[in-house]
């Protein structure tokens, strides 16, 4: 369980990115932080692995205050995936993926095997192991980023808008794969997006934030769609202006179907089985 207790972050220039934020993230959940640019999502995420330390309040993982952990050790057991993959350009795909296992003391050979296993897991052909990041497409680079985040077998995977920079088709594929990986690997995922469609497609729980990481609403995708808390939430969902590209429709056997703007089914809401 990740707990934020009355957490505030004031940056040295006086910006209050997060103002008295409290939240509990259950083990094994797929929690999405959604909200507009600058509302504090990245700051919140980085408090979990101590890339950012709060000015007030505490963040705990499994009941332990993260400020009592060495940041380097913490980052080796919490996976982190960034928007533009953050791969080291002069290291091969395999070396990038094996970075944390190697830091954790795994020998070169086992780390290489681990990298190959991770490549298969995220749908990359292992023959790409010896390429450099620049020799991959944007979508492939993001897959390497996910493989690297998973390589140390973390209990927690933090993902900061990981699919923001790839085209919509590849993005949909990556989202689908992320859902499957989450179900298979039994880990806690905290995922940032500023797009509600992505939040609705991926999250078990969505936490929609306003400036200063104020929680506008938290709940399941279905709760957002059926009981938006206020106009801010409705606006973000695009419910007022017909802007949603995915709209909920009653599906078979009480499930909720998401259809695109042409009325074509795009999928079922997570957790909704026909
Ligand atoms: N190192 C910093 N120094 C000063 N202000 C910062 C720093 N990092 C972030 N901020 C500010 O804190 C606020 C929250 O930033 P944060 O990056 O957490 O938001 P975000 O929701 O992740 O935004 P985006 O979606 O654009 O990445 C913003 O006003 C930002 O300008």
State if residue 11 touches ligand 1 by the CB under 6 angstroms criterion.
Answer: yes
State if residue 15 touches ligand 1 by the CB under 6 angstroms criterion.
Answer: yes
Tell me the ipTM for this assembly. Answer: 0.97
What 8-state DSSP symbol labels residue 219? E
The span from the first CA to the last CA of the chain, in angstroms, equals 30
Give nearest CA residue, ligand 1 atom 4: 11
Spacing, Cα 111 to ligand 1 middle (Å): 35
* Ligand 1 mutation target, pool 38, 47, 208, most atoms within 8 A of CB: 38
State if residue 9 touches ligand 1 by the CB under 6 angstroms criterion.
Answer: no
State if residue 207 touches ligand 1 by the CB under 6 angstroms criterion.
Answer: no
State if residue 13 touches ligand 1 by the CB under 6 angstroms criterion.
Answer: yes
Residues 203, 270 contacting (CB under 8 angstroms) = yes
- Pairwise CA distance, residues 166 & 170, whole Å: 6
Structural tokens at position 62:
């499994």
Q: What is the pLDDT of residue 76?
A: 80
* Ligand 1 mutation target, pool 21, 43, 193, most atoms within 8 A of CB: 43
**Structure confidence by residue, pLDDT tens digits, 198-214:** 999 999 999 999 999 99
> Which residues of the chain are modeled with pLDDT < 70?
239-245, 251-254, 260-267, 270-274
Q: What is the pLDDT of residue 60?
A: 97
Q: What is the pLDDT of residue 126?
A: 94
Residue 232: partners with Cβ closer than 8 Å, 6 or more residues away: 210, 216
Counting from 1 in the atom list of ligand 1, the atom nearest the Cα of 39 is: 21
- Burial profile 147-182: b = 16 or more Cβ within 10 angstroms, e = fewer: bbbbbbebebbbbbbbbeebeeebbbebbeebbebb
Counting from 1 in the atom list of ligand 1, the atom nearest the Cα of 33 is: 21
Spacing, Cα 47 to ligand 1 middle (Å): 13
For the chain, domains (ranges, CATH) are 1-62+155-238 (3.40.50.300), 242-273 (no CATH)
State if residue 17 touches ligand 1 by the CB under 6 angstroms criterion.
Answer: yes
Spacing, Cα 242 to ligand 1 middle (Å): 30
Can you give the pTM of this predicted structure? 0.89
Q: What is the pLDDT of residue 238?
A: 81
E strand residue ranges, the chain: 2-10, 16-25, 30-35, 56-61, 64-65, 78-81, 156-160, 188-193, 205-210, 214-219, 247-250, 256-259, 265-268
Residues 259, 266 contacting (CB under 8 angstroms) = yes
State if residue 14 touches ligand 1 by the CB under 6 angstroms criterion.
Answer: no
């Amino acid at each position: 369980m990740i707990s934020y207790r009355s957490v505030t972050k004031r940056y040295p220039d006086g910006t209050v990115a997060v103002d008295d934020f409290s939240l509990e993230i259950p083990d094994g959940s797929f929690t999405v932080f959604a909200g507009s640019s600058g509302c504090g999502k990245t700051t919140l995420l980085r408090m979990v692995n101590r890339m950012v330390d709060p000015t007030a309040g505490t963040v705990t993982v499994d009941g332990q205050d993260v400020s009592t952990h060495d940041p380097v050790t913490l980052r080796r057991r919490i996976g982190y995936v960034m928007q533009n993959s953050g791969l080291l350009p002069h290291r091969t795909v395999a070396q990038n993926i094996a970075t944390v296992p190697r830091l954790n003391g795994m020998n070169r050979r086992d780390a290489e095997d681990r990298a190959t296993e991770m490549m298969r897991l995220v749908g990359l052909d292992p023959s790409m192991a010896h390429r450099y990041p620049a020799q991959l497409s944007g979508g492939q680079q993001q897959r390497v980023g996910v493989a690297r985040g998973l390589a140390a077998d973390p209990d927690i995977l933090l993902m900061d808008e990981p699919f923001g920079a790839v085209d919509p088709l590849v993005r949909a594929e990556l989202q689908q794969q992320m859902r499957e990986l989450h179900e298979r690997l039994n880990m806690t995922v905290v995922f940032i997006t500023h797009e509600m469609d992505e939040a609705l497609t991926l999250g078990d729980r969505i936490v929609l934030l306003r400036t200063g990481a104020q929680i506008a609403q938290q709940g399941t995708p279905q709760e957002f769609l059926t009981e938006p808390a206020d106009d801010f939430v409705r606006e973000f969902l695009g419910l007022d202006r017909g802007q949603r590209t995915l709209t909920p429709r009653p599906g078979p056997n009480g499930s909720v179907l998401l259809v695109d703007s042409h009325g074509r089914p795009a999928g079922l809401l997570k957790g909704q089985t026909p």
